[in-house]
């Protein structure tokens, strides 16, 4: 499976990758993007199976990124990994087609359980 990690923080992209390995996804392919705009380009070019995106990012937020994909009728599996996890944000994420929202700080167990439920 090809997994695209989108976050403006290099540190967080490293943590997400490390956590995915700890959660048993180490043998999957990873690519990274630095914001929603870069993520959108990568989805078009690299065609990932799953996008894990931050919400608050410069240039194009995670929500705008998701909305752009949906406007293109691109149904790539999409989940948020973000520092904010209010009920409203979870609702907005779901209404816009996100499969899940993992709030930071997250553990390997949280990621494993969330992906187990979300992925076939």
Strands 2-6 and 29-33 turn out to be parallel
Determine if 61 is a binding residue for other proteins (CB under 8 A): no
Which two structure tokens, joined as six digits, stand for 115?
């992906």
Angle (deg, nearest 10), helices 87-95 and 62-71 = 20
Which element (helix H / strand E) includes 46? helix 36-46
Smallest gap from Cβ 11 to other proteins, in A, equals 4
Nearest CA among 38, 110, 43 for reference residue 73: 43
Total binding residues toward other proteins, as defined by CB under 8 A: 20
Interface residue with other proteins, options 41, 46, 49, 104 (CB under 8 A): 104
Residue given tokens 């752009």 in the structure block: 68
Stretch 23-42 residues interacting with other proteins (CB under 8 A): none
106 belongs to the binding site for other proteins (CB under 8 A): yes
Please say which residue, 42 or 82, places its beta carbon nearer to other proteins.
82
Q: Is 107 in the site for other proteins (CB under 8 A)?
A: yes
- Secondary structure element (H or E) that encloses residue 115, with its range: helix 108-118
CB of 103 to other proteins, least distance (A): 7
- List interacting residues with other proteins (CB under 8 A): 9-12, 14-15, 18, 56, 58, 82-86, 88, 103-107
């Amino acid at each position: 499976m090809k997994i695209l990690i989108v976050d403006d923080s290099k540190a967080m992209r490293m943590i997400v990758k490390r956590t995915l390995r700890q959660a048993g996804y180490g043998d999957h392919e990873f690519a990274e993007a630095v914001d929603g705009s870069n993520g959108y380009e990568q989805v078009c070019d690299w065609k990932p199976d799953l996008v894990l995106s931050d919400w608050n990012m410069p240039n194009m937020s995670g929500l705008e990124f998701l909305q752009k994909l949906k406007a293109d009728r691109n149904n790539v599996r999409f989940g948020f990994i973000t520092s904010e996890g209010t009920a409203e944000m979870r609702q907005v994420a779901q209404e816009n087609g996100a499969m899940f929202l993992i709030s930071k700080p997250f553990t390997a167990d949280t990621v494993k359980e969330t992906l187990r439920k979300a992925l076939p």
